[in-house]
Chain A
Amino acid sequence: MNTPELHPYVFLTVLLFMALAFPLVPLALARLWAIRFAPPRPGPAKNATYECGIETRGDPLQQFRAGYYLYGILFLIFDVEVVFLLPFAVAFLHLPVGAVVAMLVFVLLLAEGLAWAWLKGLLEWK
């Protein structure tokens, strides 16, 4: 690579391949062992869905409550907020007052959103 800034990313790629090897090698070894010495012997009881001793009924992927999804969206919004807060935090001491006030407005707007959600009872898990 011709630029020193990219160096760490090259080593990151090396690490990625090692991290990939960590799960793949044992899985492959276990698979090989299974094929050579211990082939799986499925049976009706073994193949059944786990259900504490009774037979399972209905579709396993039942609909779950929408509350999870709601937290998902709130997470997305606050994730974006954190992403903006970090460069702000780093530049904080070098920023003019106007920028700090602007950031304050940004945070307060989102805090207001959170407070509103709280007041409307959205953050209560019932």
Chain B
Amino acid sequence: MDAIYYLDPTTQFVLFSIVKIVVAFVITLTFVAYAVLAERKISAWIQDRVGPNRATPFFAQYLPVIGPALVRLGIFQPMADGLKFLLKEDFTPAYVRKVYFWLAPALTAIPAFMTIAVIPFGSTLGNPNNPMVIADLNVGILYSFGIVSLGVYGIVLAGYASNSKYPFLGGIRSSAQMISYEIAMGMSVVAVFMVIGDLNLSKVVEYQGANILHWMAWKQPLAFFIFLVSAFAETNRLPFDLPESESELVGGYHTEYSSMKFALFFLGEYANMIAASAMMVTLFFGGWAYPWGGGAAQGFLGGVGHIVCFLVKMLVLMGVFIWVRWMFPRFRYDQLMDLGWRRFIPLALVNILVTALVLAALND
């Protein structure tokens, strides 16, 4: 009998955790698919266009009012896109290095999903022993930096595997850009963790939980700014999309790619964007906590409310990602390196110093 009593909560825990992982993964996938649509719709709106409004599946005509409305919103567009990518000719050029050519798109997409593991996306669903985070690691932020640093391989290998000039230059450029901004990013968060005193991201959320005034974005505005800009550079988004600057390098590292392999690069960029937004919400905007505070949820509905709060904050930041794309022109490569090494790294160091002095003064 004892064995059952001992085992039962464990089995429950394991089952619940696996369900949690699956649901988090599926939600992320949905977000990736609809982030593409959001990008197209918001871009269209900023440029005074209509955007995707044609994709109509066969069942849409049977829905009286909702059907046409959904079609106009382009809700079915991601499905059409996915199908199209699947049915395109799966072509591998003759001169590429085959193994790496197939490996590179896969390697680009994986790290983004792995980063999501340490981010607490909700408090609990009633059971305080099972927090809403896939892996509550003590080394939280170091883990995610480690995974992010592995993201370089996909791009370098894509450039190398294509065996072609533009992708090769694009890959090298992109990797140099990513490693430069990784340093700025890492240094900017040091100041944040000085204030909090723990690398575990659940503790970070706990610290900011009280109310909106405790959010790190107000306490460490410089760190947030550096992190935000570095996140743009890390995800290769405009104004730092130099690796695929169309005017000089055609498509950058994915020039030679087509069909599903290209789609994986494309989706990988959005998955990275989601991971970066989620990380920023956790570090600087109180994670799942409501702006008015409230602590961990007691029941199931309260837990869902926290998750929704997290997702809303994340959506706002992703909106910023898309919005910035149309606000700023692309940086030149020397300007990019200059900003990373000669502006952000010294600024981050000064920020650490100032934070240390202020903390020491407050502590005495």
Interface residues of A (CB under 8 A from B): 5, 8-9, 11-12, 14-16, 18-20, 22-24, 26-27, 29-31, 33-34, 38, 40-42, 46-47, 49-52, 56, 60-62, 64, 68, 71-72, 74-75, 78-79, 82-83, 85-86, 89-90, 92-93, 100, 107, 111, 114, 118, 123-126
Contacts A33-B90, A72-B179 known; list 5 others, CB within 8 Å.
A12-B135, A20-B110, A30-B86, A86-B142, A124-B338
Knowing A38-B87, A82-B183, say if A23 contacts B105 (CB, 8 Å). Answer: yes
Q: How far is the CA of A20 from the CA of B260 in the complex (A)?
A: 15
Structural contact, A40 and B90, CB atoms closer than 8 A: yes
- Given the contacts A86-B190, A114-B345, A92 and B176 also touching, CB distance less than 8 Å: no
List the 3 closest pairs (A to B, CB-CB), nearest first.
Answer: A34-B90, A8-B135, A125-B334
In the bound complex, do residue B165 and residue A71 qualify as a contact, i.e. CB atoms below 8 Å apart?
no
Q: Which applies to chain A's interface (DSSP): helix, strand, loop or mixed? A: helix
Residue pair A14, B18 in contact (C-beta under 8 Å): yes
Q: Which residues of B sit under 8 angstroms from A78, Cβ to Cβ?
A: 183, 187, 345
Residues of B within 8 A of A64 (CB): 168-169, 172
Of the residues B86, B87, B352, contact of A85 by C-beta under 8 Å: B352
Contact A68 B105 (CB under 8 A): no
Report yes or no: B176 in contact with A123, Cβ–Cβ below 8 A.
Answer: no
Residues of chain B whose beta carbon lies under 8 Å from any beta carbon of chain A:
17-18, 21-22, 25, 29, 85-95, 102, 105-106, 109-110, 113-114, 117, 134-138, 141-142, 145, 149, 160, 162-166, 168-169, 172-173, 175-176, 179-180, 182-183, 186-187, 190-191, 193-194, 197-199, 250, 255-256, 259-261, 263-264, 333-334, 337-338, 341-342, 345-346, 349, 352-353, 356, 359-360, 363
A75 engages B183 (CB within 8 Å)? yes
Q: A12-B117, A56-B165, A82-B183 are in contact. Are A38 and B338 (CB under 8 A)?
A: no
CA gap between A92 and B191 in the complex, in Å: 11
From B135, B176, B264, contact of A9 by CB (8 A): B135
Once the chains bind, are B334 and A89 in contact (CB under 8 Å)? no
Residues on A with C-beta less than 8 A from B264 are: 23, 26-27
* Cross-chain contact of A27 among B172, B173, B260 (Cβ < 8 A): B260
Once the chains bind, are B183 and A90 in contact (CB under 8 Å)? no
Which A residues are in CB contact (< 8 Å) with B261?
27
Partner of B25, one of A15, A23, A83, A111: A15
B92 touches A40 (CB 8 A): yes
Contacts of A92 in B (CB 8 A): 194, 197, 356, 359
Partner of B86, one of A12, A33, A41: A33
Residues of A contacting B173 with CB < 8 Å? 68
| Bound CA span A46–B96, Å | 13
Tell me if B337 and A46 are in contact (CB < 8 A).
Answer: no
For B359, the chain A residues whose CB sits under 8 A away are 92-93
Query: In the complex the two chains form, is A19's CB within 8 Å of B113's CB?
Result: yes
Q: A30–B141 contact, CB under 8 A?
A: no
Which residues from chain B contact A79 at a C-beta distance below 8 Å? 149, 182-183, 186
